[in-house]
Amino acid sequence: MTRLPSRHLAGQRVWIVGASSGIGAALARELHSRGARVAISGRRTAELEAVSAGDMAVLPLDATDGDALAAGAEAAAREMGGLDTVVWCAAYWQQTDPKAWNAASFARHVELNLLGFNSLLAAVLPGMVERGAGHIVGIASVAGFRGLPGGEAYGATKAAQIALLESLRASLWRSGVRVTTVAPGFVKTALTDVNEFPMPFIISAEKAARSIARGLERGQVEIVFPFRMAVAMKLARLLPVRWWARLVRA
């Protein structure tokens, strides 16, 4: 069935970083189907070309390289005549084993999930503030709401992203720049395919993309899904620290 372009997303110029697979790829297709003009970036050129199918600007880059992100921002703006929305979707995940601490793995989480996002903000935020318009969308995770066993590295960077986005939203509220935090639960992607633990309420990347697109159309500042996971993790924030540790330590 053909979907009519959204009156809110139609014509929007969107750059998605981390779009070669998973949520980023599905979101690129979903936003394009709703009438947005989309540029996509990631390390894997062939995968980006497949996502684009000739309908999107393809800008390969390493999201841990600040200079590459700055050049990518310029190229995306040049390709589309400006940028309205920039989505950070690049992510690294590896389960942590505290009994065999892997400092390199922890550093890799910080390098991509947090410092990469920092470089993206440096590339696009000053221009948005100067223009008095723009939209920053950060894909974080409900893993940043409370500490989870095995998520020491990933959860720490996602919690930092959530705090960063919340701070930006407060700081920029009169600037014309909007900030949206996206916190998915478990989504079936290449990152989660390696998991050997239960993943309650897991959804497809396509369903996740539809949830994000609907939230953007509605102007939500926080998009958390799926609903049952959102409720569970919001309630989890209210539990005392000692109770939470007892609940999840098994």
Question: How far is Cα 199 from Cα 61, in angstroms, rounded to an integer?
Answer: 31
92 is catalytic: no
Measured over all CA atoms, what is the biggest interatomic distance in the chain, rounded to whole angstroms?
A: 53
Q: Which residues, other chains included, contact 27 with Cβ-Cβ below 8 Å and sequence gap of 6+?
A: 16, 19, 87, 89, 208, 209, 212, 213
Q: Which of 26, 91, 83 is CA-nearest to residue 63?
A: 91
* Nearest-angstrom CA–CA distance, 71 and 87: 16
Cis bond upstream, residue 226 (ω within 30):
yes
Q: Within 10 A of 3 (CB to CB), how many other CB atoms are there?
A: 9
In this structure, what are the phi and psi dihedrals at residue 19, rounded to the nearest 5 degrees? -120, 15
Structure tokens at 71: 């050049």
Catalytic residue among 15, 88, 154, 225: 154
Catalogue the active-site residues: 154
